[in-house]
Amino acid sequence: MKITAEALKRLDACADQVALFEQHFPEGCLVTEEAALKAVAAGLDVAWFMQRQKRPLWEAYARQKRPLLEAYERQERPLREAYEQQKRPLREAYARQARPFREAYERQERLLWEAYERQRALCACRVLLAAEEEPTRA
């Protein structure tokens, strides 16, 4: 792959980076380890350039991965369905056995919440009554 100043401009490189590139690579350059080291030494933002090159790599990866994933999912689906079918009666038995505990907890928690709300209301009343009495003491 050859990099040129025009290619950098098409990628919206900033003007100072394009000028720096042209200064060090007036004819452009091939992507090589040597060119990358020279670019870094010159102060070019190599990471910025590489970020813009990720998309084609990612798309190639995704294209190659797709048939692998589809094959995996085709093979795994019957196994997962059998697992879910075997797990269903266990979940239902658990729910039946846990229901009385949950209901007892919810009843007790509701009573506790109601007691808390009553205490909070009493405290609020005491504060209001104290505030009403305050001016008469002065």
More confident residue, 59 or 4: 4
Residues paired with 2 in a beta bridge = 30
Q: For the whole prediction, is pTM greater than 0.85?
A: no
More confident residue, 32 or 23: 23
C-alpha separations of 24 from 2, 14, 49, 77, 82 in Å: 14, 16, 16, 56, 64
Residues 26-65 pLDDT 10s:
999 998 889 999 999 999 999 888 888 777 777 788 899 9
pLDDT band at 136 (very low <50, low <70, confident <90, very high): low
Estimate to the nearest angstrom the gap between the alpha carbon of 116 and the chain centroid: 39
pLDDT at 131 over 90: no
